[in-house]
Amino acid sequence: MREPLIQLQDVYKSFGDNTVLNGVSLSIFEGEITTIIGKSGEGKSVLLKHIIGLIEEDRGAILFKGTPIAQMKKAERSALKQKFSYMFQETALFDSMTVFENIALPLKEKTRVPKKEIRERVRSKMQQLDLNDIDGEYPSQLSGGMKKRVALARALITEPQIILFDEPTTGLDPVRKNAVHSMISDYQRRFGFTGVIVSHEIPDIFYISQRIAMLDEGKIIFEGGAEEIQRSNNPIIQQFIMGQESRHDELTGLPPQPQGERRYQQEMARMRAHKSVFTVVILTIENLDVVKKMAGYEAQQASFKRFARRVQEHLRITDICSRLGMNKIMLLLPRTDRTQAEELCHQMAESFKSEGHLEIQAYPGFCFSVSAGMAEAELDQPIAKLISAAESAKNIFYEFKVC
């Protein structure tokens, strides 16, 4: 068994008569994103603040690589703190400092990096997060989305090993929200940090987390992968996920993945009863990352949104389409075999080509490429198997080249 990086053992915390954490046990593994979900006011932020030591537990222990943090010496603890970064719900930017000073502060105060290098590192971080030309502005002059990005830049500047995010996307519009998620997962892949996210964004957050933990009435009632939690039979979890999850994915307007899965079960039942066939198509935008590099995170999300909307417009009335991941859409085509599905995709691609692609038309030479993988369903095949069968039979579906 893997050893967790951070482990909470039976942590209790109450404020006066109000018990917030009632025996929380949770493991966080290195190099993974763990998301903590739960109702508002359940103490998710309090839990996160325990991990970084802003709040001390009444009882229980928090272990870092097996050593209780409370028993560490002062020097050890402050060395440990250097490995952490924390992104606050309300950003907590220093409002009397400029954006540049805000991002540079952790480096300036806690490291001996020379001034010139600090300047370069801050500049490059700002560039990566689409924060150009606002060095001298103050946080109050920025929009909500920009503030979040400045806070993210400040959290990332020291290249920490562990980053704790307290509702990083609350109050942002769907495009920006997905842009922040995409940024987090992007950086996580690039730098391999361990992330802990407190979030309400279901199911968006499932796309980028490896592990989900649910906090309910002061206890962790679930720990496991994103797929496991969606299949959990626990009524509290089911009710919560269904309640949080909107009928449509906010970004694409498509039904979210769990709904797609439910429809899959219905189709499977029909197959069993009437021997009808159906085909699953997975559309993957192959170079969504390149769009980000050219035009930024927001343009990336906007172009995904537009693509999804177009796909939906071209579907037949019985077809079902749902979002499968950061750059994937799943189509479920009832009473359609593989040949018919190919024909349908071909027609769709033809009409896309004639319509052009707005978001990327300013970048000559760029080729927007979407692949389609399809597989016909077999009786009683689990959805995960069918999806992977479809993905392994990928073909270029549509390419749009900007001239």
Q: Report, in Å, the least distance between residue 109 CB and another protein.
A: 5
Nearer to another protein, 92 or 290 (CB): 92
Closest CB 139 distance from another protein, rounded Å: 10
In the complex, the smallest distance separating the C-beta of residue 91 from another protein, rounded to whole angstroms, is 9
Nearer residue to another protein within complex by CB, 164 or 331: 164
Nearest-5° angle of CA 381, CA 384, CA 387? 95
- Smallest gap from Cβ 151 to another protein, in A, equals 9
CB-wise, 83 or 270, nearer to another protein?
A: 83
> Residue 105 or residue 294: which is nearer to another protein going by CB?
105
**Sequence-distant (≥ 6) Cβ neighbours of residue 279 within 8 angstroms:** 332, 333, 336, 337, 338, 340, 341, 374, 375, 376, 377
- Our CB check for another protein shows the closer of 39 and 81 to be 81
Closer residue to another protein in complex, CB, 93/320: 93
The strand pair at 6-15 and 59-64 is best described as antiparallel
Coil, strand or helix at 371: strand
Residue 276 in tokens: 């009808």
Within 10 angstroms of residue 308's Cβ, the number of other Cβ atoms is 21
Phi and psi at residue 385, to the nearest 5°: -65, -45
- Closest contact distance (angstroms) between CB of 56 and another protein is 12
- The per-type count for the chain, helices as H runs and strands as E runs, is 13, 15
The least distance separating another protein from the CB of residue 155, rounded to whole angstroms, comes to: 9
Whether the upstream peptide bond of residue 203 has omega within 30° of 0, thus cis, is yes
Q: Which residues bind another protein (CB under 8 A)?
A: 49, 52-54, 78, 81-82, 84-86, 88, 90, 92-96, 105-106, 109-110, 158
CB proximity list for 120: less than 8 A, separation 6 or greater: none
